[in-house]
């Protein structure tokens, strides 16, 4: 039912891609930051269509608008933005913010109050599909809100902002927890006639909390538009197989116009073969195998201001794999030799991304400068993808797929990172690419980055995590302490069922001890004080360094991370510079008179928690550059990139053939 062979892929993809290739290739977003090699975005956030606190339009306005919002609060000028609500259903009309957001004139509004009314140019006459509750509890299925609410709001706002706006989904995956998904086929908000039907169809068919048995219908016989839904196999091992079928469906029908990025992957502990939670490494391998051009990474946890006295960001408790977060990241990303390094050690196209997971500001309203829960998209996290000449939804997904992207918290670095390597001549390779060398070659690695003059922190007092070591670093002024260059050997793809393909996982800090790639190491650590420094306008600083590695007989990769935290900072980093469990941050007191009242306290003494913790403990992650000896077999990352190129060429050929018919 769900073909996966490359022959079928090439055939099935061509018809789908040809329909929208010309539309998505047009240049857009002319007001984006010119001259920057990368553009910033967010692909994971929520509104009142499901469990967020603000209207769908309000999320867009605050994320991509400039200056100050009319009702108050700063906007964050992102270049691209994906609405990424949960699947399932919701009873609130998401053209309105919830009362909890504390916005003027906005109160919790349910669908039973607004049916038949035209609001923001949108009229909803009925709740479609299987009836789901009555009165104020009557819920709209997510597929309908994708089609009839969120996508029209995107279409209305796209010409206003001239930014790339995408309709996406936080898929509640069968057998697992949550996954960021977008299907841009048909989405064309710059022109009349676009739709998010394919995104809606994916949600209807495959989200385990969407139990609607009808979907959209047509004709007097009420025929189903999307027949054949499996509404049974939603948990455990059977659920995982349904998730693989969903990924295979995307790979078959939308191989260059979709992505599948599991998020906060450690949060619920290891995979439960009879439940609906967690991931082990074999599940990510399965995903990448089923969707070589759509399932290519994982996302950091989000909820970056939730860290309290007993845990860090991401809603991670002690039962999460790793027992919490580490430098605001899950253990799969933060641990050298951990799960990410295990995937890279196979040479897989498996990359790291960051997003806000914005729901609410916890104890604060949407306009307040402080937060005890989430940051607004663009406020704290930025996912940078290449600033393509033809900036579009398609180029955003192409950039994510390529691996030429990097993730930044607290504006630690800006949109102009250079991270590249070469061996001979000027054949530079950057993130996601593969450098072919001769054994013994000297591999030159170059990195340049700008540390901005300021970030969005409302706090100007000194970083309380660094006070114990005598360092004065205002929270609203980014500062880079060092960059780690992490390397690991690539030993080849492990086949399903072979030894080492499936690895037992563990909840809590026991999960942090699992090593998936023992060859991974911090190969070089470059202090910012040893980098070439150039001052820019507004006190921004441009940093640059060049270093070398010697190529051997085996392929390897080089990835990078950077932080404001010095090596061996008590309660924050170990003697090698690795982040410690973020719950340790709360052992540090915040004693400055300006420390805000919403921080959690012990015996009346405020501790480094919530948004102060997030701005105190800042990191960036850059995706890897792969290196292999000439004459050796191509890595899987190269093979899958070649597949994407062939699919694109086939679609372009079919599009031109269609034009000439």
Rounded Cα distance, 358 and 80, in Å: 15
**Helix and strand element counts for the chain (H, E):** 13, 27
The model's pTM is: 0.94
- What is the pLDDT, as a whole number, of residue 191? 78
What per-residue confidence (pLDDT) applies to 658?
53
Q: Residues near 343 by Cβ (< 8 Å), separated by ≥ 6?
A: 281, 284, 285, 288, 350, 516
Q: The tokens of 503 are what?
A: 């690895």
pLDDT tens track for 312-327? 788 899 999 999 999 9
Among 409, 408, 412, 428, smallest CA distance to 420 is for 428
Percentages helix, strand, coil for the chain (3-state, rounded to 5) are 25, 25, 50
Task: List beta partners, residue 352.
Answer: 298
Average pLDDT, the chain: 93
Residues 588-641 have pLDDT tens digits of 999 999 999 999 999 999 999 999 999 999 999 999 999 999 999 999 999 999
pLDDT per residue as tens digits for the range 337-393:
999 999 999 999 999 999 999 999 999 999 999 999 999 999 999 999 999 888 999
Exposed/middle/buried for 25, CB within 10 Å: 0-12, 13-18, 19+? middle
In this model, does residue 455 exceed pLDDT 70? yes
Q: Pairing relation of β-strands 258-262 and 605-606?
A: unpaired
Q: What pLDDT does residue 21 have? A: 27
- Closest by CA to 598, choosing from 312, 370, 317, 278, is 370
Pairing of strands 381-386, 351-353: unpaired
User: What is the tens place of the pLDDT at every residue in 133-172?
Assistant: 999 999 999 999 999 999 999 999 999 999 999 999 999 9
- Side-chain half-sphere exposure of 552, counting CA atoms within 13 A: 8
The pLDDT of residue 310 is: 85
What letter does residue 263 receive in the DSSP assignment?
Answer: B
pLDDT tens digits, residue range 28-79?
Answer: 444 455 678 999 999 999 999 999 999 999 999 999 999 999 999 999 999 9
**pLDDT value, residue 657:** 54
pLDDT at res. 404: 98
pLDDT band at 656 (very low <50, low <70, confident <90, very high): low
Q: Which run of H or E residues covers position 467? A: none
Q: What percent of the chain has pLDDT over 70?
A: 93
Average pLDDT on 174-187 reads: 98
Return d(Cα 15, Cα 253) in angstroms, integer: 9
Over range 395-418, report the average pLDDT.
Answer: 98
Per DSSP, the residues of 316-336 read --TTSBTSS-BTTB-HHHHST
């Amino acid at each position: 039912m769900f073909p996966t062979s490359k022959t079928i892929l090439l055939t099935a993809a061509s018809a789908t891609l040809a329909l929208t290739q010309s539309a998505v290739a047009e240049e857009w977003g002319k007001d984006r930051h010119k001259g920057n090699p990368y553009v910033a975005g967010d692909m994971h956030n929520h509104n009142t269509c499901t469990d967020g606190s603000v209207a769908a339009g309000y999320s867009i306005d605050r994320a991509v608008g400039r200056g100050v919002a009319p009702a108050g609060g700063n906007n964050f000028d992102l270049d691209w933005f994906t609405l990424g609500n949960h699947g399932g259903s919701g009873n609130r009309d998401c053209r309105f913010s919830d009362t909890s957001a504390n916005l003027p004139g906005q109160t919790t509004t349910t669908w039973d109050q607004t049916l038949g009314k035209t609001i923001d140019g949108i009229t909803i006459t009925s709740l479609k599909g299987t009836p789901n509750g009555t009165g104020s509890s009557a819920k709209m299925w997510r597929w309908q809100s994708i089609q009839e609410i969120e996508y029209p709001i995107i279409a209305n706002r796209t010409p206003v902002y001239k930014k790339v706006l995408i309709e996406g989904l936080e898929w509640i995956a069968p057998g697992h927890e949550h996954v960021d998904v977008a299907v841009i086929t048909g989405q064309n908000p710059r022109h009349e006639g676009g739709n998010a039907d394919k995104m809606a169809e994916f949600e209807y068919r495959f989200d385990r909390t969407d139990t609607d048995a009808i979907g959209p219908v047509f004709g007097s016989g009420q025929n189903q538009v999307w027949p054949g839904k499996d509404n049974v196999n939603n948990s455990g091992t059977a659920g995982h197989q349904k998730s693989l079928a969903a990924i295979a469906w995307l790979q078959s029908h939308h191989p260059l116009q979709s992505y599948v990025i599991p998020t906060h992957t450690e949060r619920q502990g290891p995979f439960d073969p009879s439940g609906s939670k967690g991931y082990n490494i074999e599940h990510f391998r399965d995903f990448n195998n089923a969707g070589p051009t759509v399932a290519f990474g994982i996302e950091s946890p989000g909820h970056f201001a939730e860290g309290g006295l007993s845990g860090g960001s991401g809603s991670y408790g002690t039962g999460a794999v790793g027992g919490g977060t580490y430098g605001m990241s899950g253990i799969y990303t933060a641990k050298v030799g951990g799960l990410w390094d295990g995937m890279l050690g196979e040479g897989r196209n498996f990359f790291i991304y960051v997003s806000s997971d914005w729901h609410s500001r916890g104890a604060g309203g949407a306009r307040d400068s402080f937060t005890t829960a989430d940051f607004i998209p663009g406020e704290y996290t930025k996912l940078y993808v290449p600033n393509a000449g033809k900036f579009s939804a398609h180029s955003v997904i192409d950039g994510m797929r390529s691996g030429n992207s990097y993730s930044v918290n607290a504006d630690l670095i800006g949109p102009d990172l250079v991270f590249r390597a070469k061996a001979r001549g000027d054949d530079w390779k950057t993130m996601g690419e593969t450098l072919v060398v001769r054994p013994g070659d000297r591999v030159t690695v170059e990195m340049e980055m700008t540390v901005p003059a300021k970030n969005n922190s409302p706090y100007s007092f000194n970083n309380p995590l660094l006070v114990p070591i005598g360092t004065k670093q205002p929270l609203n002024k980014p500062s880079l302490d060092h960059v780690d260059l992490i390397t690991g050997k690539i030993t080849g793809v492990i086949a399903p069922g072979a030894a080492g393909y499936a690895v037992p996982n563990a909840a809590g800090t026991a999960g942090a001890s699992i090593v998936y790639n023992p060859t991974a190491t911090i190969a070089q650590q470059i202090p910012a004080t040893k980098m070439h420094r150039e001052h820019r306008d507004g006190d921004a600083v441009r940093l640059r360094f060049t270093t070398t590695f010697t190529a051997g007989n085996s392929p390897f990769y080089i990835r990078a991370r950077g932080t404001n935290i010095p090596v061996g900072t008590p309660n924050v980093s170990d003697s090698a510079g690795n982040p410690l469990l973020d719950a340790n941050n709360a052992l540090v007191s915040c004693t400055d008179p300006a420390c805000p009242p919403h921080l959690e306290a012990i015996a009346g003494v405020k501790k480094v928690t919530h948004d102060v913790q997030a701005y105190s403990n800042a990191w960036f992650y850059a995706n890897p550059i792969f290196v292999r000896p000439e004459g050796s077999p191509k890595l899987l990352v190269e093979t899958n990139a070649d597949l994407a190129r062939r699919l694109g060429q086939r679609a372009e050929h079919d599009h031109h053939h269609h034009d000439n018919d």
